[in-house]
Amino acid sequence: MPKVLVIDIGNSQIKWACATATAVGAVREIPSSPAAIRLRFPKSLKADLAVVSSVVPALNGILRKSLHRRGIHKIHFLSAKTDLGIGICYPRPRTIGADRLANAAAAFQLFGGPAIVIDFGTAVTFDIISKKGEYVGGVICPGLRSMTDYLHEQTALLPRISLKEPRRMVGKSTVEAMRTGAVIGFRGLISEILSDLKKELRASRLPVVATGGYSRLIARKVKGISAVRPKLTLEGLRLIGLRLLAKT
């Protein structure tokens, strides 16, 4: 059975797992840093191919060398030129983030088209796949953690907060007030963008798939989100990896 090492290099974290023809295995996370790549991958890794989506180009060479030292020499960095299993209808395909392409490929395979993927990462991205199975564009807005960290960094008295479901609308402390504003307000942002996208797309059937760090927290009370798939990016890398292996 073919084995694919799937790696998603994000701005804050690197997520990776070993995947087979049927599933993505246990997901591990390390910080997005050169030291973490060099020191925190297992000493021995076995895979027929490593497929990588990266939004931090400065780490790509370091990762490649680290995988070579561990005996993995077939490494594919996903791009718009990759055989994704979907088409791209977008003016400048090379500017699309590799993680967004992986998400789109997985969503079309799992849910068909048209479909929307919402990825709750450092930035929140909405990606649209057409009925014909083409990536056609999307929306980018600041992520939930980015917004709350900015408040902490730019003000003297507002603390850095943990993000979880607020107990009430009216906060009885600074932390409670910030948490309500962040979580409830962010749901409003997501709901409004999603509502306008649905109006523009005019599709009778439109699955909406949420993924990323805060997908479960936010999606639980946003109408119109069909499914939460925390491993969606890695699932897309798995499917793409299998396509690449089948061609060799």
- Look at residues 134, 122, 44, 140 and name the one whose alpha carbon lies nearest to residue 88: 134
For 28, list phi and psi in degrees, rounded to 5: -115, 155
Q: Which helix H or strand E contains 108, and what residues bound it?
A: helix 98-111
Q: Which of 8, 48, 83, 99 is catalytic?
A: 99
Going by DSSP bridges, is the β-strand pair 115-120/208-212 parallel, antiparallel, or unpaired? parallel
Please report which helix (H) or strand (E) contains residue 183, including its range. Answer: helix 174-201
What is the largest distance, in Å, between two alpha-carbon atoms of the chain?
Answer: 61
Q: In whole angstroms, how far apart are CA 58 and each of 28, 50, 68?
A: 21, 18, 17
Residue 149: active-site member = no
Helix axis angle for 232-246 and 98-111, nearest 10°, is 80
d(CA 228, CA 219): 7
* Structure tokens, 209: 């798939």
Token look-up 């292996």 returns: 245
Catalytic residues: 99
